[in-house]
Structure 1
Amino acid sequence: MRYLILSVITFCYVFEWCKASVCFWNSGCPYNYFATATPYNVVRGDIRDSRIKIKSCEAVSIWGLFRNGKSYPDFEKVKNMKKVTAIRNYLEASYKHGNCSLCAQDVENLRYWSIEDTFFNKSNGLTNEGYQEMLGIGKRLKQAYPKLLENPKDAQYVINVFDGDGALTEDSAKGFVEGIKSGIQYNNSANSFLNIRLCNKKGDSNEVIESLKYHSSSDYLILKDRMQRRTGISYDLTDEDILSLYNLCRYSSSGVDKKLSPWCALFTTKDLQVLEYIEDLYNYYKDSYGTPTNEILGRIPLADLFGNFERAKMGKGKELVAYFTQSSALSMAYTALGLFKDKEHLTGAHNNPERQWRSSKISAFSANLFAVLNRCIIDGEEDHNIVFYINEEPLRSICADGICSWQEFEDKMKSFSNTSTYCNNFKV
């Protein structure tokens, strides 16, 4: 009998502890992978620590693609997000009537949630956090390569408006340039691969088709049911409501302050993984392996990389070439390089949690892909090698130990130099 009482007490203690542990406000490690709206601090490394140092070698040129920093939601998202904020009143009433399974503190945090006016008024503009992300990248790069970037008189900054608002990428570039503190003006002129944003990619409908398929899957239907029961509100949540609540969660969270939005309390980790996969599906077909043209488009910036390093190898190149763009250009470059490629296509029929294509990790805000050309003097002979980095971490899958000899680099990149920048010349 004594053993039974002790067991019941232990069970009650564990039950109460578990109940408290599912409260969002005091959860130790909440899920913070939000597809392309993932904060950079969640996925980044630090080039000052991760830089591969090679004996008898020094960096002579850096080339990179940089996605825009964290942005405000666009007009369409803002319109729907404003509308759905009214759910707070229903949640409070639902909680008082015992129909809501959210924790008291989470409901209270939502009740008193507020945000700066610019969040809803500065559609698709760069946030202060986004500016700080880009400024930080510039600072760390300069600290990692002080000799190269201390006074790069020939450095070239190119604003490449790939597909969207030019002010967003331009302001991102300004943050980066301030971090470098070189005193050089960036170049906002047209460049060799501006035309790729104008291409009409065949097969784009798949980006919607596969996403819609997944909306009919058991994963998504369970998410809807779980949210309905979790909130306990009297009306049915629509797909648009769920997406807007998700956007409130991810856009009003802060990676710099390491503080997630109280709106994230509405979702379980499994819910967030389902919503992450929906966006992965969309981007996979829009910008990556799901549509063959993307691989061809991705060759265009890589041809620019090869050309710049070929000139730098001959002593005629630039110390720094930086292109500021949106996530599409990065995704296409990954595709052309054969990176993050799954054995089977992503589809709406099945969510593979072990998939390599994860937009949260490779296309987050301020995501970047850059390469460093090193000149080496070994036994009196000059040689060159190249190291690739993604989000300030070495990209080891391209060459052994992450270091490509010049021959390996040339074998991989030279064929890209023949890629046309005009869409009507593409053959898929």
Structure 2
Amino acid sequence: MLNNIISILTISLFTSSFASFCHWNSGCPYKYFASKTSYNAIRGDIRDSLVVLKGCEPVSIWGLLRHGKRYPSSRFGKSMNEALAIREDILSSYREGRSSLCAQDIEDLDAWVTDKKMFDSATELTPEGYEEMYGIGKRIRHTFANLLDKLDKHTFRPAYGKWIEDSAKAFIKAFNNNKIHPEKSLSESDVMAPYLTCGKYQKDVQKNPNIYEESEKYKKNPEYLATKDRIQRRTGIAYELTDTNVTALYDLCRHTWSGVESKLSPWCALFTKDDLQVLEYIQDLRSYYRNGYGTPQSETFGQIPLADLLRTFQKVKEGDGKKMTAYFTHATMLDMVYTSLGLFKDNKPLSSANRDRDRKWRSSANSAFSVNLVAVLNRCTKKDEIDYNVVFYLNEEPIRAICADGTCTWKEFEEKLTPFLNTKIDFCEFKSEPY
């Protein structure tokens, strides 16, 4: 009996000495998960951040929006489903005194119930994703009520994909107008996703595993190896975790976190803040070289929706435009548009050799679920003269980087976007299927 008590005390002391971080009561848990970040973690509120200009009124709104939170693809879902078995090993390690996880985090992980839809409804829009998109629509409608309450001339078009179509429907639902419907999505190349059917780009970039060379090289970096070792020791699992295991566990963490309900995921307890930042950087490397400055074609593709933006506002100036234009698309398209505008550009390319903690290219902030780039055309009257300006918003906050004072004069706006009107993607060579 005495030996048993001593053993229990020893295990307790061993566990307590290593359980220096508890996820459940961390106060400010890290909630940035690259492109799987919840919109609520990074958004502003356009109702509060609206740029009000004396003598001006909004006359047209143009937006490019990523779809809301969706369930993982079948490929990633399969890896995540297989990783669920590791939970029993983590619980056993804790009972045997090999884990440094906190008791409450273990209890929460043990009680966690699998959402079958996460594996059975691949890529479908989640209820949280619906709420994200509905919320954006509601706040925009509220902010520009005078312009949008009687919305007659408009375009709402989703890119190809059911989860994107459902995102558009959620956004439109906020307008409480039964006469507004999304346009039919096009399977071929379109304004908000021209890269999808570009054969050469799909072959050389999107479906080329070599494009991820830097992110794979980073997995040999001492920083990543230290992260992997911390996860190994924190969980106390007897066998060695593979890179696939680590990625699957990370995906379980970021897919089961609720931004709308501010609900923590017990799977995130397996990682420290440093671990999550390292894993986030792997995703940044992937998006940078696939969608951003690491691929020359990205800038060209990004010019196509920006040319549409210019044409849309030119028509409004001519008296024949639309009050609102909204395109619903992928994170890839937003990344390409940032590249065309020169946003979030670092002085040096992102590298596997060194993780710049102050880098500008951060997919958690720029490519989260439901991220959106919105441009507002204002008509201004001064001394009986009419002029126009454009204000850009990213995730419901004004962008200061496009024009010096945050508000583009019409001349600045036109000069910046006019070169994009002649953009061609004749390098595609052949057409490919979008999915």
Q: Same fold (TM over 0.5)?
A: yes
Map 1:15-94 to 2 at 5 A: 22-94=21-93
Corresponding residue for residue 138 of structure 1: 137
C-alpha change, 1:252 and 1:142, in structure 2 (3 Å) is: same
CA distance in 1, matches of 2:236, 2:269: 14
C-alpha change, 1:425 and 1:396, in structure 2 (3 Å) is: farther
Corresponding residue for residue 358 of structure 1: 362
CA drift of 1:151 comes to 1.1
Say which of 403, 406, 423 aligns to 1:399: 403
CA distance in 2, matches of 1:180, 1:222: 50
Secondary structure of 2:174's aligned partner: helix
Secondary structure of 2:337's aligned partner: helix
Structure 1, 194-203 or 270-279: larger mean CA deviation: 194-203
Deviations 1:274-326 (A, max 9, x none): 10000000000100000111111110110110110111111111111100001
Secondary structure of 2:162's aligned partner: helix
Map 1:27-426 to 2 at 5 A: 27-161=26-160, 166-183=161-178, 184-190=180-186, 191-192=190-191, 194-199=193-198, 200-201=200-201, 202=204, 205-424=209-428
CA distance in 1, matches of 2:173, 2:139: 12
Is 1:35–1:279's contact at 8 Å kept on the other side of the alignment?
yes
C-alpha change, 1:421 and 1:307, in structure 2 (3 Å) is: farther
Q: TM-score, normalised by structure 1?
A: 0.92
Where do 5+ consecutive residues of structure 2 fail to align? 1-14, 431-435
Secondary structure of 1:185's aligned partner: coil
CA distance in 1, matches of 2:428, 2:120: 39
The share of aligned pairs that are identical, in percent, is: 50
Secondary structure of 1:73's aligned partner: coil
Structure 1's consecutive aligned runs of 4 or more residues displaced over 4 angstroms after TM superposition are: 16-21, 191-194, 202-206
Corresponding residue for residue 9 of structure 2: none
CA drift of 1:240 comes to 0.5
Secondary structure of 1:93's aligned partner: helix
Give 2:45's aligned amino acid: D
Is 1:376–1:384's contact at 8 Å kept on the other side of the alignment?
yes
Give 2:110's aligned amino acid: R
CA distance in 2, matches of 1:317, 1:361: 32
Structure 1, 242-251 or 78-87: larger mean CA deviation: 78-87
Corresponding residue for residue 8 of structure 1: none
CA distance in 2, matches of 1:111, 1:119: 18
CA distance in 1, matches of 2:283, 2:19: 31
Give 1:173's aligned amino acid: A
C-alpha change, 1:17 and 1:402, in structure 2 (3 Å) is: farther
Secondary structure of 1:279's aligned partner: helix
CA RMSD after TM alignment: 1.8
Corresponding residue for residue 6 of structure 1: none
Deviations 1:370-391 (A, max 9, x none): 1000000111000000000000
Give 2:239's aligned amino acid: Y
C-alpha change, 1:399 and 1:388, in structure 2 (3 Å) is: same
CA drift of 1:338 comes to 0.3
C-alpha change, 1:193 and 1:98, in structure 2 (3 Å) is: closer
Corresponding residue for residue 3 of structure 2: none
Give 1:363's aligned amino acid: S
Deviations 1:330-355 (A, max 9, x none): 00000000000000000111111100
Give 2:422's aligned amino acid: N
Is 1:207–1:281's contact at 8 Å kept on the other side of the alignment?
no
Give 1:86's aligned amino acid: A
Is 1:21–1:27's contact at 8 Å kept on the other side of the alignment?
no
Where do 5+ consecutive residues of structure 1 fail to align? 1-15
CA distance in 1, matches of 2:50, 2:25: 36
CA distance in 1, matches of 2:396, 2:284: 22
C-alpha change, 1:111 and 1:412, in structure 2 (3 Å) is: same
CA distance in 2, matches of 1:21, 1:315: 64
Secondary structure of 1:401's aligned partner: coil
CA distance in 1, matches of 2:88, 2:195: 46
CA drift of 1:400 comes to 2.2
C-alpha change, 1:410 and 1:262, in structure 2 (3 Å) is: same
Give 2:336's aligned amino acid: M
CA drift of 1:160 comes to 2.1
Q: TM-score, normalised by structure 2?
A: 0.90
Corresponding residue for residue 4 of structure 1: none
